[in-house]
Amino acid sequence: MQKKYFQILIGLLILSALYTPQGYIIDREAWQWLYLSAINLGALTYNLYMTLRGTLKPLKTPISFKIISILFIWAIASILYSLSFQVAVIDLSRFFIYLVSFYNLLIVFNETEISFKQLSYLFTVLFIIEIFFSYKPLFEIISQGSFQNYDPNILEGIASNVNVTSFSIALKVPFLIYLFYNEKRNFLKAIFISLLILGYVLLNFLDTRAITLSNYFILFIILGFSLVNFNKRVFLKSIILISTIFFSFNIPSFLDSKRSEKNQELIEITSNSDESTNQRLRYYKAGIKQIISNPFLGVGFGNWKLESIKYDKNASIQYIVPYHMHNDFLQFGAELGLIGLILYLTFFTSIFFKYLIDLKNFKIRWDSKALVTLLFFTYIFFDSSLNFPFARPMVFLQLLIFIAFLEKQLNKHPS
Does the pLDDT at position 397 exceed 60?
yes
Return d(Cα 36, Cα 94) in angstroms, integer: 10
DSSP string, 80-133: GG-S-HHHHHHHHHHHHHHHHHHHHHHHHHHHS---HHHHHHHHHHHHHHHHHH
> Shortest CA distance to 366 belongs to which of 379, 376, 356, 358?
356
Does the pLDDT at position 414 exceed 60?
no
**pLDDT tens string 273-294:** 566 777 788 889 988 999 999 9
φ, ψ of residue 231 in degrees (nearest 5) = -155, 165
Q: Is 363 exposed, middle or buried (0-12, 13-18, 19+ CB in 10 A)?
A: exposed
| C-alpha dihedral (373, 75, 28, 14), degrees to nearest 10 | 50
Domain-embedded: residue 141: yes
pLDDT at 311: 75
How many domains are there within the chain? Answer: 1
Q: Categorize the per-residue pLDDT at 220 as very low, low, confident or very high, splitting at 50, 70 and 90.
A: very high
Count CB-CB contacts under 10 A for residue 403.
Answer: 24
**pLDDT tens string 80-139:** 999 899 999 999 999 999 999 999 999 999 999 899 999 999 999 999 999 998 888 878
Q: Categorize the per-residue pLDDT at 190 as very low, low, confident or very high, splitting at 50, 70 and 90.
A: very high
Return d(Cα 51, Cα 49) in angstroms, integer: 5
- Whole-number percent of the chain with pLDDT over 90: 53
Least confident of 36-50, 248-262, 365-379: 248-262
Strand, helix or coil for residue 396 = helix
**pLDDT tens string 289-314:** 999 999 999 999 999 888 888 876 66
- Cα dist from 60 to 236, 404, 407, 411, whole Å: 41, 12, 10, 9
Domain-embedded: residue 214: yes
Q: Mean pLDDT throughout 311-322? A: 63
CB 37 within 8 A of CB 97: yes
Does the pLDDT at position 234 exceed 90?
no
Averaged pLDDT score across all residues of the chain: 86
Radius of gyration of the chain (CA): 22
Q: Mean pLDDT throughout 233-252? A: 87
CB 127 within 8 A of CB 172: yes
Strand, helix or coil for residue 282 = helix
> Shortest CA distance to 347 belongs to which of 104, 111, 95?
95
Domain-embedded: residue 333: no
CB 254 within 8 A of CB 404: no
pLDDT at 377: 95
φ, ψ of residue 122 in degrees (nearest 5) = -60, -45
Return d(Cα 409, Cα 403) in angstroms, integer: 10
Q: For residue 138, give its domain range.
A: 115-267
> Shortest CA distance to 19 belongs to which of 271, 377, 412, 394?
394
pLDDT at 146: 58
Does the pLDDT at position 348 exceed 80?
yes
pTM passes above 0.75? yes
**pLDDT tens string 352-393:** 988 988 767 777 778 889 999 999 999 999 999 999 999 999
Return d(Cα 297, Cα 81) in angstroms, integer: 9
pLDDT at 28: 73
Domain-embedded: residue 53: no
